Amino acid sequence: MSESIRVAVLGASGRMGTTTVRAVQEADGLELVAALDAGDDLRAVTDAGAQVAVDFTVPSVTEQNVHVLVDAGVHAVVGTTGWDDGSLGRVHDHLLRAPGVGVVVAPNFALGAVLAMSFARQAARWFESAEVVELHHPDKVDAPSGTARHTAQGIAAARAAAGLGSVPDATTQALDGARGADVDGVRVHAVRLRGLVAHEEILLGNTGEMLTIRHDSFDRVSFMPGVLLAVRRVVDRPGLTVGLEHLLGLPA
Ligand SMILES: NC(=O)c1ccc[n+]([C@@H]2O[C@H](COP(=O)([O-])OP(=O)(O)OC[C@H]3O[C@@H](n4cnc5c(N)ncnc54)[C@H](O)[C@@H]3O)[C@@H](O)[C@H]2O)c1
Ligand SMILES: O=C(O)C1=N[C@H](C(=O)O)CCC1
């Protein structure tokens, strides 16, 4: 019988951290060896012999956590949002000096959300207009969501590859924020509402028709199959992987 993968969870007292601790404890072939939160010394990860650390902390600390883990030879599965090309580039470069170590950064681990993003990338080339609406619980600190950014970037890349120009928009007068954030030319709107967990609508329009792709996470357990998949796969996946689509064999 193969040995269990030894797992640490960072941000273990948070909403995602507590759900992840439970999922790892209940998963076959995984062993929870450390559960850390703010104020804990990251050396506890290596002291406990963790092979993989799952990071669900806050955007302001997640990159630094990953550099420390890479230096310690610990694989990382990162769900915390707030990553951009600069922070991803620094981790990519760092990993060149840490052969064998893997880092998976995924803005959304829910399988339906990953499929929705993939469908949006596939559909984007056929529509003149595209906008993204994300809807979350009001305790979320970042806006727009990491998922909405990743979705919009994917749509923008698909549009560019197909030779599409800018989305049509005649707005010349607007209150600040009325047209949402501009992510690579795709407008992204953020709703914060008590009662919600994590939701996204991708709106694609042509004259006379609209395609709506919607995903709803009603419970944080929806993220766990993706988190556990990433934990099991990262140990054999050196370097940086951005997006769960790469582990699911979906077109990137
Ligand atoms: N990728 C996904 O599928 C997915 C799903 C849900 C949430 N998220 C993201 O995960 C992150 C966490 O979300 P949440 O709702 O659990 O937030 P949360 O505020 O409930 O939890 C964050 C936890 O991190 C802890 N923390 C802060 N600094 C730390 C440090 N230096 N070391 C260790 N722990 C530290 C906090 O004390 C808190 O317990 C957010 O960025 C959110 O957007 C991603
Ligand atoms: O609850 C959150 O916070 C979520 N964050 C991620 C994001 O920003 O995309 C994923 C969905 C839930």
The pLDDT tens digits for 100-117 are 999 999 999 999 999 999
The response to whether 108 counts as a known ligand-binding position is yes
Q: How far is the CA of 237 from the centre of ligand 2 (A)?
A: 24
Q: Could you tell me which residues come within 8 angstroms of residue 132 by beta carbon, excluding any fewer than 6 positions away?
A: 144, 148, 151, 152, 155, 183, 186, 187, 188, 189, 200, 201, 202, 203
Q: What was the pLDDT predicted at 1? A: 59
Ligand closest in space to the Cα of 81: 1
Is 75 a catalytic site residue? no
> Rounded to 5 degrees, what angle do the CA atoms 151, 172, 181 make?
25
* 160-212 per-position pLDDT tens digit: 999 999 999 999 999 999 999 999 999 999 999 999 999 999 999 999 999 99
Ligand 1 pocket test, pick from 9, 37, 63, 247 with the greatest ligand atom count within 8 Å of Cβ, gives 37
243 DSSP assignment: S
Asked whether the CA dihedral 150, 113, 157, 187 is positive or negative, the reply is negative
* 95-104 per-position pLDDT tens digit: 999 999 999 9
Strand, coil or helix: 95? helix
Average pLDDT over residues 122-127: 98
Query: Ligand 1 pocket by C-beta < 6 Å: which residues?
Result: 10-11, 13-17, 36-38, 56-59, 61, 79-81, 106-109, 146, 223
> Which atom of ligand 1 is nearest the CA belonging to 110?
3
Q: How far is the CA of 61 from the centre of ligand 1 (A)?
A: 10
Average pLDDT over residues 49-67: 98
Q: What was the pLDDT predicted at 108? A: 98
Q: Could you tell me which residues come within 8 angstroms of residue 247 by beta carbon, excluding any fewer than 6 positions away?
A: 104, 229, 230, 233, 237, 241
pTM of the model: 0.97
The response to whether 11 counts as a known ligand-binding position is yes
Average predicted confidence (pLDDT) for the chain: 97
Ligand 2 pocket test, pick from 135, 145, 153 with the greatest ligand atom count within 8 Å of Cβ, gives 145
Q: Is the pLDDT of residue 118 over 70?
A: yes
